[in-house]
Amino acid sequence: MFFRLLMLIGLCFSLSACVATAIVGGGAAVGSAIHDDRSVGQHIDDVTIASKIDALLIAEKNMPSRWVSVEVIENVVWLTGYLPSQNHINRAIYICRSVKGVREVKSELNIGSPSTGSLFSDSWITTKIKTAFLDDKIVSGFSIHVETVNGKVYLQGIVNQSVERHRAKDIARKVKGVTAVVDLLQVRSLR
């Protein structure tokens, strides 16, 4: 467990944000496709939408999107992180809505920018939670996306049952530095 934790921290600090996001995000996409209830087609649609939004935010003039995280689940876009002003947030939401296939946009964006200490603390919290998920017998570390902003943890994804959802929230709450847990998880629907 300790070795995996060190590797994740090293990866976060040794790679630029964009490269790390692409590597970790790509790995998570493969892992979550195996472990969640979305069809392969839906999963590909979600990843495609997220990639288009990321590209549009990066290409947008005067849009400092490096502190914005985009997660798409069943065509619903979740934005977390920071932008400098409400105008920037409104523009980011507008850009998301302009992407074909987006059903809804939900923003948890904060105005401002994170401090260096906050970035380190948030990365540490996320790493601790993801490591705990990977070591847990109930929770799938692959199907739950974890994002931390100022100690506030966002859990997103599709889980197999309510027990997994509750266990994930309990694990996240117990990590030192967590100020709140926002449950955006969906329980797999029975078919």
pTM, two decimals, is: 0.67
Query: CB–CB of 159/144 below 8 Å?
Result: yes
Question: CB–CB of 185/144 below 8 Å?
Answer: yes
pLDDT tens digits for 11-44? 444 433 444 444 444 444 444 444 555 677 777 8
Residue 83 gets which letter from DSSP? E
pLDDT tens digits for 1-18? 444 444 444 444 443 344
Q: Which residue shows structure tokens 């946009």?
A: 105
Angle, alpha carbons 96-185-15 (nearest 5°): 65
Q: Select from 129, 140, 142, 138 the least CA-distant residue to 176.
A: 129
Go through the domains of the chain in sequence order and give each one's CATH number. Answer: 36-111 (3.30.1340.30), 116-187 (3.30.1340.30)
CA angle, residues 111, 52, 58, in degrees to nearest 5: 45
